[in-house]
Structure 1
Amino acid sequence: MKLFQKLIAAPAIITMASGFAVNAAEINQTEFSPFTKSPEVISTGDFKSDLLVPGDWAYDSLKDLSKSPRFNGSPVHRMEAAAELNRLIAGGEGLVNGAAIGRLSDELGSELAIMKGRVDGLEARVNEIEAGAFSETTSASFGVDAILEASDGGGESEAVGFHYAWEMKTKTSFTGEDTLTVAAEAGNGAGTSGGVLDFGASTGNAIEIKDVNYKFPIGDNFTMKVGDSLKISKSFNQACSYSAFTDTLSDCGDGKAHNVGGDISASGEYDFDNGFTFSGGVSGKKGATELLTKENPGIWALNAAYEADTYGLSLAYASDVDNAYWGLNGTYDFDALAVSAGMGFKNPDSGAESTSWMAGITLPEVGIGEVNLGIGTDGYFKDAETELLIYEASYGFDLADNIGMTVGAFIQEKAAGTDDITGVASTISFSY
């Protein structure tokens, strides 16, 4: 045990240090002082000599023990000699001559101490880096969207604007089957057209947390989601394959049932493994931090859907304090094109029922991208009211891996006496 008590470096440390071949001229106490405060570290000024030369007992002993080509009759630096000694100890070579190893460990103890201090310091720095890095089960994704748009009408003057939106999302798994998601966003507005387009994050350039939720399984087929700023509809399946350009048509004709909002929420989905799914949940109203209180009863909603290879159907129901909403959606893929349509029904506690609808066509292979053509109501309308429609056309394609671009145009009808809004826009999206 006495021999190994003399060893300053443990086998793992010695193994790392054995790769060092450092010139003595490069070693000084200032260089290593950040790495260790060990009293065993001796400055180079205390060394007997910077070199071992042929004829020195240490030189000849290392030559006999290691058979290394380093000892070819030319002097070697003491740090190189110490590295060779580390290699011998780490590999177990030469330990048959314990007396020689012990004596060499004493002679080169200062160099071994410096090497140990340097490796300890490197390990400490690596540990600091790893402590500040993502865990192995955490991933991060980022996205940047930018839009250049021009619009006219709606009682506003002509305008051309540029806006951006940034998003960061981290996902962590603790069991391999669950997911903790945290999403943040920043942006400088929804566009000059007053938010007609499905774009933007109006945070005034400030970074805001937009979603914190936790998803976990219960059994084989049931998945729960709980979180803040999490819509119940995140657990829903809506039968709509249309890629909308404007915000209203992105709801696929059903703005309040399939796309029910809310804030703090709990929802779940059961997958029957045969194409059918059933989902439901409860949520506080926007800005609420509590569920189902007397002052803020919140929202609850249900969804049933069926998805096959070429078609899908879905039905949703949602209820808040003052209204009940129904939504029906369907989609069919004809290979050359896909058709999506939907209807929404709003039933208030008092007053007349109102409806909304939408229809869209997707042409998936036009040049290097796809074309989307859509029409729908701009919200809910009662039977006695004149429906105001939105028309849109867009073309989306990839510029490169993780870079997509969409160009499009729209018309938003306005009430009599106000000019319709017409606009064109080009968006580019980066994901990384």
Structure 2
Amino acid sequence: MKLFKQLLVAPAALGLLAPMAAGATEVNVAGVSDYAPVSADAVAVDQVTSITQFSDVYPTDWAYQALSNLIERYGCVAGYPNGTYRGNRAMTRFEAAALLNACLDRVTEVTDELKRLMKEFEKELAIVKGRVDGLEARVGELEATQFSTTTKLKGKVDFVMGGVSYGGTDYDLTVPSRQIGVDKKGKAVYYKNKGKYLGQDAFTFNYRATLNLNTSFTGKDLLYTRLRSGNFNTNAFSGKGYTRNITQLSAAKSTGDALKVDKLWYQFPLGADFQVYLGAKIENYYMLGAPATVYREILKDFKLGGYYGVYGASTSPGAGIVWKPGSQENPGDPKFSVALNYTAKNGAKGNPQSGGGIGADNSKGKFVAQVGYGGPQWNINAGYAYIQDGMTVGYGTPLGSGTKVIGGDDESVSRGFDDANAFALRAWWQPSEASWVPSITLGYDITSFNGKKYKFKSVSGTTFTATKPMQKQTSQAWTVGLNWKDAFMKGNLLGFAIGQPQFETERENGTPDDGNYAMELYYQFQVTDNIAVTPAIFYVSRPFGELTGSGPLTGGENAESFNTFGYLVKTTFRF
């Protein structure tokens, strides 16, 4: 209580001493004349109740607020009979003593009231004190047993149960590879599947486990380490087999149940407006200045508003920098950002001549540049990527994705490429509060490939005559993603997306007959803060694009209707 009384006296004392130090405020109260002679006009009046009673005190005065607080909160300030305060005149020690005495009397009244309140709530205060002591003990125990003072561990486990069903009649799921030509050295050339099965109708149970280690040494930097394990092997959900990656789930991971380092990078600020990234295992889209999407996907096709072209990625060594001027000011306001980054799939190899190194012709590298403008509620951004042969382009129909040769009604077409240039546009908006209006993500991509030069001879017994393939091709893609927060129940999430993953739209030789549609629908039910259950369905039409109905998908005209329908329940545990 002694300490509390001192705290209450402090404002009065500071309000008194500050004017003395700065130019001395003159205060006169009753009784001062008994101790020292004063002038005839220095006779005190009754204590004032409002600062507006002083005719010579103005809101622009430097001590106006302090004087107002002393009057209104403690009622221990008086002035002169003519209604003035005379704040610029000097104060005698007697006047100071009288003023301090009046304020102390008021403090005594206040402390008596506090004593009565403390007595009345004595039991409640004891309970609060006990809880505080308990919390202090628990904090001390946590500090003593924590595994690191710099690192926080967050984990997530995804269980996925579900299956796929293939539509279209007379399609062959186990067609062996078929030779369609020979290269200039006489070596046989086959379809990419090389005897791999396309898939089977099946129900599977898979998992993915993720451990995120976030380490900071200065409070502003971040060393990020992600460990992952999963058993999504050769099935439709993993995107392996001839169904390729068009039906791969965003939650899929194949490590053969081994726990592996999945991501590893260090980021730190450079001044107030720059962020620098250095990664031994990183992907380009982690080094962006503007988020590409606010949609939460099930199929990886819909990741980042479309996982192809600019944003299709592969974990590699890389580095990047982001410039966002004014990023530390008014976080709710729209901001401009510029990001530049580079990754190399062969960046960890030591011999550039045999396919390794950073910045070499055979680095399998990818350079990405992005500009964006927006804030927490909306953003619009554009990206460009230069992609070397061997680097991941993205998901979609097999065309343009790194395989060697396909057959067609016009001519054989190369699906390999020397390099590619990709462009992406993204725009998204989300409501400030949950409502029937969803968040919206729009994505559009266009990628231009410079094809490799292959020459083939006719092969007896085949239905195709391979000739010089096209030297250039163009692929496009688009996505629309919608999310409804708090749908039907607070905390839950409804999602729907539709689009066309990467498909060929132009080539130098022949007319492409490519294209497919993909769509998904899901509802995430938040069971607890740490457990969510998400039933979902998805549908992909013509996942092989132009290959449907020919080549490995034999079966006549009916094979043109080949499609994939998937259903699953994903349960997510966070800790």
**Could you tell me the TM-score, scaled by structure 2's length?**
0.50
Distance 1:254 1:210, change over 3 A: closer
Residue among 422, 444, 448 paired with 1:343 = 444
Is 1:380 the equivalent of 2:503?
yes
Q: Report the AA paired with residue 397 of structure 1.
A: F
**Same amino acid, percent of matched pairs:** 20
Is the 1:373–1:392 Cα contact (8 Å) retained in structure 2? yes
Name the CA distance, whole Å, in 2 between partners of 1:142 and 1:286.
Answer: 30
In the TM superposition, residue 295 of structure 1 has moved relative to its aligned partner by 3.4
Q: State the partner residue of 1:255.
A: 308
Q: Report the AA paired with residue 263 of structure 1.
A: S
Q: Report the AA paired with residue 402 of structure 1.
A: N
Deviations 1:308-367 (A, max 9, x none): 354211111111221111100111235521221111111112412211111122222321
Q: Report the AA paired with residue 307 of structure 1.
A: G
Where in structure 2 are the equivalents of 1:19-418 lying within 5 Å?
Answer: 134-153=147-166, 155=173, 156-189=199-232, 192-195=235-238, 196=247, 197-236=249-288, 237-273=290-326, 274-285=334-345, 288-289=348-349, 290-296=357-363, 298-321=365-388, 322-333=419-430, 335=435, 336-349=437-450, 350-368=471-489, 369-383=492-506, 384-414=512-542, 415-416=548-549, 417=559
State the number of aligned residues: 304
Unaligned runs of 5+ in 2: 1-142, 168-172, 174-198, 239-246, 327-333, 350-356, 389-418, 451-470, 507-511, 543-547, 550-558
Name the CA distance, whole Å, in 1 between partners of 2:376 and 2:315.
Answer: 32
In the TM superposition, residue 137 of structure 1 has moved relative to its aligned partner by 1.5
Q: State the partner residue of 1:25.
A: none
Is the 1:150–1:158 Cα contact (8 Å) retained in structure 2? yes
Name the CA distance, whole Å, in 2 between partners of 1:227 and 1:282.
Answer: 10
Name the CA distance, whole Å, in 2 between partners of 1:261 and 1:219.
Answer: 30
Name the CA distance, whole Å, in 2 between partners of 1:261 and 1:326.
Answer: 18
Q: Report the AA paired with residue 348 of structure 1.
A: F
In the TM superposition, residue 179 of structure 1 has moved relative to its aligned partner by 1.1
> What SS does the corresponding residue of 1:348 show, helix, strand or coil?
strand
Is the 1:330–1:340 Cα contact (8 Å) retained in structure 2? yes
Name the CA distance, whole Å, in 1 between partners of 2:277 and 2:503.
Answer: 30
Name the CA distance, whole Å, in 2 between partners of 1:286 and 1:420.
Answer: 35
In the TM superposition, residue 294 of structure 1 has moved relative to its aligned partner by 4.1
Distance 1:338 1:222, change over 3 A: same
Name the CA distance, whole Å, in 1 between partners of 2:210 and 2:346.
Answer: 21
Name the CA distance, whole Å, in 2 between partners of 1:308 and 1:294.
Answer: 38
Q: Report the AA paired with residue 501 of structure 2.
A: D
Q: Report the AA paired with residue 423 of structure 2.
A: W
Is the 1:330–1:341 Cα contact (8 Å) retained in structure 2? yes
Is the 1:151–1:192 Cα contact (8 Å) retained in structure 2? no
Name the CA distance, whole Å, in 1 between partners of 2:250 and 2:201.
Answer: 20
Is the 1:346–1:380 Cα contact (8 Å) retained in structure 2? no
Unaligned runs of 5+ in 1: 1-128
Name the CA distance, whole Å, in 1 between partners of 2:233 and 2:347.
Answer: 20
Deviations 1:362-421 (A, max 9, x none): 222321322111111132322433311111111112110111221110111123416311
Is the 2:300–2:307 Cα contact (8 Å) retained in structure 1? no
Where in structure 2 are the equivalents of 1:420-431 lying within 5 Å?
Answer: 420-431=563-574
Is the 1:402–1:430 Cα contact (8 Å) retained in structure 2? yes
Q: Which has the larger radius of gyration?
A: 2
Name the CA distance, whole Å, in 2 between partners of 1:174 and 1:371.
Answer: 39
In the TM superposition, residue 231 of structure 1 has moved relative to its aligned partner by 0.7
Root-mean-square deviation over aligned CA pairs? 2.3
